[in-house]
Structure 1
Amino acid sequence: MGESYFIDQYNQEYSRDIEPMKGGHGDNYYYQLMAAVRRYKGVAEPVAAGPEQTIDLNGGFDQWKQVESSYFDHVGDTYHRDSPGNFAAGPYVNRTGRNDIVESKVARDDRFVYFYVRTAEPLTPYTDPLWMLLFIDADGDHSTGWEGYDLLVNESLRDDRRTSVRAYGRDDWGKPATIDYRYEGNEMMVAVPRKFFGSGKLSFDFHWADGIQKLGDIDEFLLNGDQAPSRRANYHFEE
């Protein structure tokens, strides 16, 4: 029986494949492709932030219907993998998919920035490990924070109404500050004090992650759980 060869992936240096790899160049070439396509085809104008709006975390989730702008994610990307390998490789097993994130929204007033997230099915209990994490690049500077993210929400949940936000310091996440959140069915909302975003008009990126297996490793965004948006991409909000 003959062997299998992939000529276009002769080695890492001469590979013609943009598909992400584990280790090595990761998904760098994929993002270079995205950047080139955006330059060639152009991009739509940024979505308008809309008027300020206060969200009552004790109120219903129908408040969010007044926030017109939505950020969407692929549906169905939490399926569990159990695939045979080829020759010495494999099998490939991954059962970390948990909450399938499908939609996000942002609102704000003079005191808080409010985040909303909706999943395809009812959310799992908040006691699950590394549950519905929200990473925020508050200053738009990738050289600050962890992989550019300055704030981490939901890493230390107190109960079903109180969670945490942590700011990244010199080389680690700082002491958690308690903030309010609420979830019911397949929806969740959280209020982050505006002081964490600095002064002036808001301009930040954010990223939801659920079901990653550990903090501190950006490869988790490529491998485990669900990401919104996918992998290392971010959503952007700007006033």
Structure 2
Amino acid sequence: MKSLVLALLLSAQGLVVYAQADTWVATDALGRKVLPEGKGIKKDRYVGIFYFIWQGAHGYDLNNGTNATGGVKDKTPADTISPYDISKMLAKNPLKPEYGPIHAFHHWGEPYFGYYLSDDEWVIRKHGQMLGDAGIDVLILDVTNASIYLPQVTKIVETFRSMRKQGIKVPNISFIVNSAPAQTVQRLYEYIYQKELFKDFWFYWKGKPLLLCPPEALTPEMKTFFSSRQSWAWSKDQKWFGDGKDKWTWLDHTPQSYGWHEDKNKPEQISVAVAEHPMSNIGRSFHDGKEPDLKQPEKGLYFAEQWKRALEVDPEFVFITGWNEWIAMRFDDGASAYFLGKKIPKGETYFVDLYNDEYSRDAEPVMGAFNDNYYYQMVANIRKFKGTLPGTVYHKTNKIRIDGNFADWANTEVVFADDPGDTFHRKHAGWGRIKEYTNNTGRNDIIESRITSDDANVYFYVKTKGELTSWTDKDWMQLYLSIGESNLPRWEGFQFLINGKPKSRIATDIQVYKGGKWSGLGTIGMNSKGNELELVVPKKLLGIKGKQFTIDFKWSDNSPALENVMNWLDNGDTAPNARFAYRYIKQ
């Protein structure tokens, strides 16, 4: 309750109000629930995620290396074939897939946001919002291949900074170094840290900026400046890891070893991976010590085992691998003796880090396959690791007149904030032959939702940043909800749809989900004016009896979820974001 009061005070003063995403609830495609843990927020628990900024920096149809700045390359007239999508190649010809050229970058699958480039502001905004909602504290930016990709880092920070000014919670940044470590660290230090560039987005660890790099790469001055930890893959029988002091893995076999700093018995860090390598034959389905013949990547079995170990160890920091790697080079040089669990001769194709939906490590949503399953699995486990406050219980009742006045909403106690600016339109080049991605579906920018009730009714209110468009617009300001105590069937976690077929500016419909379809239940009162809308739902239509009940609800505008629930992620606007819903507990 205190957090709500504070949010209201800040809102009244026109200051930043975060959306308190760890109070939201969700149901993923497998029916798994994402709920507040409710046992309180743990002290000193942080989560970072491996984040990649190389999409487009090394060429498209061919691998042309990096340019002087490490920025995204301009496409050439010859870039007419890529992206090379291995999953689509395998679907077309599983025995002899028609790969692209040797050393060219191949996508293991199609990202849900398309084959994007790493300087696409629309994608960066989506990533920042999703990872902030998930509870990610820091992006561990991949500079392990000796390029620091400064233009992409600049674009990310500038975008995140504008979002943060709007009140949107986004992560900070750090870096992980491996190849040419002394040179790479020197460039980071010279171009970023000495200039105090992006200082408002540095992630601090033990009072200093965190940098993951080999210790020999640091000068005495740098050792004083940074909290440095060495980070690489695997711990057991690995010389680099030693006894684990000041060592952070980004990938490790289950059960993972932890790194420590002050006391060997006090875990500092542990890694959690979505999967490992096609080389090691440890994919997303790996569990109970083996890679099964029947692949079930949609279930996140390896991810679950890794999280189980991390939660048992309960360190200060969890490093998740990863978010958005997506691409890998094609090789045939015989440097790897094994691929997909089989011995391969020189001249046969292999990919080191990624291959298909089983052998890949991205938690970012993918087109088709398992869609956004890994995102919600990640959110649920981050909440277990970091803890959350219990859901707020509300007692106050209000009777609201649905007259388009809205003044009577000022006395209600339940207010939910939504991120402003997430109706941002997209217009940016795609990978290789893809000329451009556009998305102009952002329409009504929802910024606030309210709910209250009395003995007979439940009342809903929503506010947008600008004036509402016409009620006759397609998929206009729809409200999805479910009743916690109800045994009615659920569609993606919801039982009722309101305003799916509005009657007029002052009347709309309510539908119930049953028998695998939506059916009309009645007509209810609604009113809108300017940038505000209110409506009333009789409790009897919702099957609510008594004064104690729980409602999960979400607003959706120009996001045709009934066609594809994934549209909540990238079309129009929803409040709260994506599959999430607000929870109203009334006693």
Q: TM-score range by the shorter chain?
A: over 0.9
Amino acid at match of 1:133: Q
1:42-61 equivalences in 2 (<5 Å): 42-58=387-403, 60-61=405-406
Amino acid at match of 1:11: N
State which drifts further: 179-188 or 5-14. 5-14
Asked whether 1:223 is paired with 2:570, we answer yes
1:211 match: 558
CA–CA separation in structure 1 for the residues paired with 2:467 and 2:572? 16
Q: Residue by residue, what CA displacement relative to the aligned partner does 1:81-122 show, whole Å, maximum 9, x if unpaired?
A: 111111134521111111111111110001110001111111
Q: Residue by residue, what CA displacement relative to the aligned partner does 1:124-167 show, whole Å, maximum 9, x if unpaired?
A: 01010110000011246798222221111001111110111111
1:150-229 equivalences in 2 (<5 Å): 150-198=495-543, 199-200=545-546, 201-213=548-560, 215-229=562-576
1:234 match: 581
8 A Cα contact 2:404 2:527, kept in partner = no
1:19-34 equivalences in 2 (<5 Å): 19-34=364-379
CA–CA separation in structure 2 for the residues paired with 1:166 and 1:70? 25
8 A Cα contact 1:142 1:148, kept in partner = no
1:4 match: 105
TM-score normalised per structure 1: 0.93
CA–CA separation in structure 1 for the residues paired with 2:360 and 2:435? 21
Amino acid at match of 2:584: F
1:61-210 equivalences in 2 (<5 Å): 61-89=406-434, 91-139=436-484, 144-198=489-543, 199-200=545-546, 201-210=548-557
Amino acid at match of 2:581: N
**Percent of aligned pairs with the same residue?**
37
* Alignment: residue pair count: 239
Q: Residue by residue, what CA displacement relative to the aligned partner does 1:201-237 show, whole Å, maximum 9, x if unpaired?
A: 2212111110024624212212311111111111111
Change (3 A) 1:214 1:104: closer
8 A Cα contact 1:134 1:154, kept in partner = yes
Q: Residue by residue, what CA displacement relative to the aligned partner does 1:30-71 show, whole Å, maximum 9, x if unpaired?
A: 111110111111111212323111001126212111112211
8 A Cα contact 2:404 2:529, kept in partner = no
8 A Cα contact 1:104 1:116, kept in partner = yes
Consecutive unaligned residues in structure 2, runs of 5 or more: 1-61, 64-103, 107-326, 329-352
Change (3 A) 1:108 1:141: closer
Larger Rg: 2
Amino acid at match of 2:381: A
SS at match of 2:533: strand
Change (3 A) 1:216 1:196: farther
8 A Cα contact 1:72 1:103, kept in partner = yes
Amino acid at match of 1:36: N
CA–CA separation in structure 1 for the residues paired with 2:403 and 2:409? 13
Consecutive unaligned residues in structure 1, runs of 5 or more: none
SS at match of 2:569: helix
Runs of 4+ in structure 1 over 6 Å off: none
SS at match of 2:393: coil
Alignment RMSD: 1.9
Change (3 A) 1:157 1:98: same
CA–CA separation in structure 2 for the residues paired with 1:82 and 1:9? 28
CA shift for structure 1 position 197: 2.7
CA–CA separation in structure 2 for the residues paired with 1:187 and 1:235? 19
TM-score normalised per structure 2: 0.39
Q: Which has the higher helix share?
A: 2
SS at match of 2:473: coil
8 A Cα contact 1:9 1:17, kept in partner = no
CA–CA separation in structure 1 for the residues paired with 2:391 and 2:509? 30
CA–CA separation in structure 1 for the residues paired with 2:485 and 2:493? 8
SS at match of 1:33: helix
CA–CA separation in structure 1 for the residues paired with 2:493 and 2:386? 27
Amino acid at match of 2:582: Y
8 A Cα contact 1:135 1:152, kept in partner = yes
CA–CA separation in structure 2 for the residues paired with 1:141 and 1:121? 36
CA–CA separation in structure 1 for the residues paired with 2:521 and 2:542? 16
Q: Name the structure, 1 or 2, with higher relative contact order (CA <8 Å, separation 6+).
A: 1
